[in-house]
Chain A
């Protein structure tokens, strides 16, 4: 770590200011005041994702993301988003393996509307057969559209089920349509009662607000929501260390083959995770990155290549994805990918490359907080995973601490053949010719 780099940085990055507190029912509240635009982001992050699901009820967390728009005791079916639209706002939600996130972005005079909507959702969302049945159809269609019929849409599903044997990361958020289809209303109600509770949530109010007013409004709408169970299900599963490379082929409705590698890496927030993230930038961030330059520009073997660590609460994967050019043998592409990883394992990167990586990371970290809504989700995540909201300001130090030896070391420690899954995606047409050949 260079001392000069750090001081320059501290001089430049203004801290993101926030205030946080817990309500008596355990709801954590983060307030961030910023008057540059007259808008407010109201969001709730529930610390529940697909990894908290019963293995027999895969897809529940994501299903709830849909169900939670169906209405509440006081909000008629279909009206939830209409309130927001009428107010000139926008809303949405998303689910990962680790958490579920809901947000509204509203003109700042509608702050109270946002709080009413989110508190209704937390207090008494409608979990009834009409809503469940409607959303069952929608979610099953969504799976068809986004996973089954989209080229490479099943990538994560295929990768995770081979990469994990024990840990619930072995299934992904979309889950299993059969589990969803056959689940009972009671199953849904139980899930809601267990996880959609204030002591499992972070409320973030960011934007053109008055902190004191926002605090009392948060209390007004959320304080009377009863605390939920303390012992909600958090899997304590440790995935056994891989001993052997897994290789497989997936035939899909695609035109172009793809090569995907998944290396087991440490969890988000660990020192090694940051080194792995820098290694990923070295290989695939920008047109001058090692893999892009070699595969796309110089040897013209691939249209696209990227290496991306998954930011997961428990140890996840770093995924490489390459799309070979038309007619290029995927093996040739994989060989170059392996060579470039081997190079990082054998040789220290240059000083200039390290400086480039630090510059890139710094630029990304700053720019990923450029809007109110980005700041809101980033703060909520830092609290949900680490109970350390201020990580949004200090994370840069973790990256700055990474040196050349670290990058070489993590390359050797994690980017090993026996620690990975390799998948070839091939067009379905090639499957037929193979099977006929085998006959």
Chain B
């Protein structure tokens, strides 16, 4: 009996277990059902009398509307004032004939809406019940912007700060230079610089707006909870008065493609990584037969989460980088290919080798069936998810009109993707993946990488470029008999001569640094032999102060004062001595001439300067002017080696002595210091150094 008692539950258990297994086999994933059809109806459109094309994308899920206006003007060569077309777009909503920016802000917030303006476009959204007011505001900023001067000034200031912030970021340098190299003379290759921003005027913005913001070249997409009839009425009501006009058209030649592979290098002394970018222009327009296969091909090469060839090789296998990716993008004028990664300096050449290897592999080896299948489902999935956002629908509708795509282009998108074969991928790769005519651009440490990367160029030459994408002139050799001492002597001459320099008893300098919307003022006082005070000011009050009175010194910040001692005191004591270069010998500073290098496109002597405490820096003196144009110093910190540089420009004469009125600092922190005034021998209150 006992046995029986135990026996039954065991049997029962196994029975239950087997029953539930029969019900559900958990050990393998369930099969997918038949693929869903993606419904994509082409949205209706109509044209107003003034030529404005209106597209209506209905979606009544939520009582929300979105409006998007696109001015389809050809790109312009903006030249010396590059950036004004973008400025005009960004400032549309910063003041109209009837409203200030703050009034516009209040109106937008009052109805809980959003309103953004940008280059050749406007986007607004909000609840359906406010649709009329949103469109009213939108039409007002479209037709009656006044580009207030103070708003333009604020905008320019911000653009300059952004540019300054990105100036030392190797990825941004790479992107900018890649544009120059890829597009050359084409308007796509124009770069906004500090100088071009300065040239942007209210008049230019007005003129651009008056000439190009015309209904007959524009599209208005009306999305969300709005019916076609309502949309037509509203478009007529708010945009019907928009005056049409003749708009100039512009055509440009396709940029030249390389005849063979080229290697370009932008030097960044303080780089610990190289930014690699392999790039070239591509003839691929949206809606071309090749556009979908090209997208799939690129996904296999450099897309996917981890699955792309580049990621598998450079990250998963070799560990050269955190991420290696590629893009192959279509464009109505000029498309592009770019493959890139940030890699350690020492593996720069090995990484380029692997990039080229994978670009070659996708051309010569058929892609594996499984890989192609995965790339297709990834594409299907993300396409389907993207359709949830009515803005995606609007973009597709707009593309269909703008680029004259077949009406069923997006409706059949996935079917077309599904049909792409292994063979088609290879054929597409042969056509668009061109390691043989690419430019391999490296932003990194020239000393460490230049020689190693030359082998990738057909002519085994590395072309050097500035951070603005201009070719660097090769530095001339050091002439016979030139010494470090002579270089210093020349610079003393160039600055006004020993006599004028030794007459300087005191210097008061006022300089400013822009940080976002604010400006920091730095006042520096120096008095012979070694008194110094540096005051950092905000809104007229001192926020930080460094003072040395010849014997003792202190630092004050945020209302707290710290007396300097030990090493810090020694450093400031040495720093405070005026015009040390007049007597390097006497101070025990050692000099040696290391050769020449190009600084901002010009040849300069490179002088190694070793202070008595052993600290080394490099000073660069322009060969033609004799003046010091750059200084560079590397320090070893717990985070590793850090190099910082400072360039000197805009030399102006004060009391017979030349001073640099502009200093660009780069490294851990980057900024531009502009000198507003320098006074020499005007006498300084003793209290300044207390």
Interface residues of A (CB under 8 A from B): 8, 12-14, 34, 36-39, 73-74, 83, 85-90, 105-113, 115-117, 119-120, 123, 208, 220-221, 224, 285-289, 293, 297, 300, 303, 325-329, 352, 355-356, 359-364, 366-367, 369-372, 426, 429-430, 432-434, 436-437
A36-B388 contact given A224-B24, A430-B560, CB 8 Å threshold: yes
Min CB distance, A209 to chain B, in Å? 11
Complex contact B36–A286 (CB within 8 A): no
A321 to B543, CA, bound (A): 22
Which of B36, B536, B561 is packed against the most chain A CB atoms within 10 Å? Answer: B36
Digit string of B493-522 for contact with A (CB within 8 Å is 1, else 0)?
000000000000000000000011110100
B125 nearest in chain A by CB position: A367
Complex contact B30–A360 (CB within 8 A): no
A74 to B27, CA, bound (A): 5
Complex contact A363–B543 (CB within 8 A): no
Q: Does B305 contact A (CB under 8 A)?
A: yes
Complex contact B388–A327 (CB within 8 A): no
A90-B562 contact given A38-B38, A220-B24, A327-B538, CB 8 Å threshold: no
A39 to B28, CA, bound (A): 22
Min CB distance, A83 to chain B, in Å? 6
Complex contact A116–B109 (CB within 8 A): no
Min CB distance, A296 to chain B, in Å? 9
Complex contact B520–A326 (CB within 8 A): yes
Which of A109, A110, A112, A426 is packed against the most chain B CB atoms within 10 Å? Answer: A110
B110 nearest in chain A by CB position: A356
Q: In the complex, which residues of chain A have a beta carbon less than 8 angstroms from the beta carbon of B558?
A: 329, 426, 430
Selected A-B contacts with CB under 8 Å, 11 pairs: A74-B26, A108-B36, A109-B32, A112-B31, A220-B23, A327-B520, A363-B111, A366-B63, A370-B62, A370-B64, A371-B388
New A-B contacts (14) at CB < 8 Å, excluding given A116-B26, A285-B109, A371-B389: A87-B32, A90-B385, A105-B385, A106-B381, A107-B36, A113-B32, A224-B20, A326-B520, A327-B520, A328-B538, A360-B109, A361-B112, A429-B557, A433-B561
A434 to B524, CA, bound (A): 25
Q: In the complex, which residues of chain B have a beta carbon less than 8 angstroms from the beta carbon of A224?
A: 20, 23-24
Q: Does B555 contact A (CB under 8 A)?
A: yes
Binds A, one of B46-54, B126-134, B459-467: B126-134
A208 to B33, CA, bound (A): 13
A356 to B113, CA, bound (A): 11
Complex contact A12–B562 (CB within 8 A): no
Complex contact A86–B126 (CB within 8 A): no
Complex contact A367–B64 (CB within 8 A): yes
Q: In the complex, which residues of chain B have a beta carbon less than 8 angstroms from the beta carbon of A361?
A: 112
A355 to B389, CA, bound (A): 29
Q: In the complex, which residues of chain B have a beta carbon less than 8 angstroms from the beta carbon of A434?
A: 560
Complex contact A356–B109 (CB within 8 A): yes
Q: Given A88, A328, A369, which contacts B378 in the complex, CB threshold below 8 Å?
A: A88
A14 to B63, CA, bound (A): 8
A86-B384 contact given A12-B129, A108-B36, CB 8 Å threshold: no
Residues in B54-81 with C-beta less than 8 Å from chain A: 59-64
A117 nearest in chain B by CB position: B29
Binds A, one of B100-108, B226-234, B526-534: B100-108
Min CB distance, A115 to chain B, in Å? 8
Q: In the complex, which residues of chain B have a beta carbon less than 8 angstroms from the beta carbon of A329?
A: 558
Complex contact A287–B385 (CB within 8 A): no
Complex contact B543–A327 (CB within 8 A): yes
A360 to B106, CA, bound (A): 12
A367-B381 contact given A38-B37, A327-B543, A372-B388, CB 8 Å threshold: no
Q: Does B654 contact A (CB under 8 A)?
A: no
Q: In the complex, which residues of chain A have a beta carbon less than 8 angstroms from the beta carbon of B112?
A: 356, 359-364
Min CB distance, B606 to chain A, in Å? 32
Among all A-B residue pairs, the 4 with the closest Cβ atoms: A88-B381, A327-B538, A363-B112, A38-B36
Complex contact A109–B381 (CB within 8 A): no
A373 nearest in chain B by CB position: B388
A325-B518 contact given A288-B109, A366-B62, CB 8 Å threshold: yes
Complex contact B109–A286 (CB within 8 A): yes
Residues in B372-386 with C-beta less than 8 Å from chain A: 374, 377-382, 384-385
Digit string of B220-241 for contact with A (CB within 8 Å is 1, else 0)?
0000000000000000000000
Q: In the complex, which residues of chain B have a beta carbon less than 8 angstroms from the beta carbon of A221?
A: 24
Min CB distance, A258 to chain B, in Å? 14
Complex contact A289–B20 (CB within 8 A): no
Q: In the complex, which residues of chain B have a beta carbon less than 8 angstroms from the beta carbon of A38?
A: 36-39, 384
Complex contact B62–A287 (CB within 8 A): no
A434 nearest in chain B by CB position: B560
B375 nearest in chain A by CB position: A88
Complex contact A86–B108 (CB within 8 A): no
Min CB distance, B161 to chain A, in Å? 11
Complex contact B561–A437 (CB within 8 A): yes
Complex contact A433–B562 (CB within 8 A): yes
Complex contact A366–B30 (CB within 8 A): no
Residues in B613-669 with C-beta less than 8 Å from chain A: none
Complex contact B110–A359 (CB within 8 A): yes
Q: Does B687 contact A (CB under 8 A)?
A: no
Min CB distance, A75 to chain B, in Å? 8
Q: Given B30, B59, B520, B560, which contacts A437 in the complex, CB threshold below 8 Å?
A: B560
Min CB distance, A133 to chain B, in Å? 22
Q: In the complex, which residues of chain A have a beta carbon less than 8 angstroms from the beta carbon of B518?
A: 300, 325-327
Q: In the complex, which residues of chain A have a beta carbon less than 8 angstroms from the beta carbon of B380?
A: 88, 107
Complex contact A433–B555 (CB within 8 A): yes
Q: In the complex, which residues of chain B have a beta carbon less than 8 angstroms from the beta carbon of A120?
A: 26
Q: Does B34 contact A (CB under 8 A)?
A: yes
Q: In the complex, which residues of chain A have a beta carbon less than 8 angstroms from the beta carbon of B109?
A: 285-289, 356, 360
Complex contact A109–B36 (CB within 8 A): yes
A36 to B59, CA, bound (A): 9
B28 nearest in chain A by CB position: A74
B130 nearest in chain A by CB position: A359
Q: In the complex, which residues of chain B have a beta carbon less than 8 angstroms from the beta carbon of A73?
A: 26
Q: Does B419 contact A (CB under 8 A)?
A: no
Min CB distance, B37 to chain A, in Å? 7
Q: In the complex, which residues of chain B have a beta carbon less than 8 angstroms from the beta carbon of A106?
A: 381
Complex contact A363–B105 (CB within 8 A): no
A109-B34 contact given A221-B24, A287-B105, A362-B112, CB 8 Å threshold: yes
A14 to B382, CA, bound (A): 28
A87-B561 contact given A108-B36, A303-B516, A360-B112, CB 8 Å threshold: no
Q: In the complex, which residues of chain B have a beta carbon less than 8 angstroms from the beta carbon of A364?
A: 112
Complex contact B388–A37 (CB within 8 A): yes
Complex contact B555–A107 (CB within 8 A): no
A50 to B214, CA, bound (A): 57
Q: In the complex, which residues of chain B have a beta carbon less than 8 angstroms from the beta carbon of A36?
A: 59, 61, 388
Digit string of B529-547 for contact with A (CB within 8 Å is 1, else 0)?
0000000111100010000
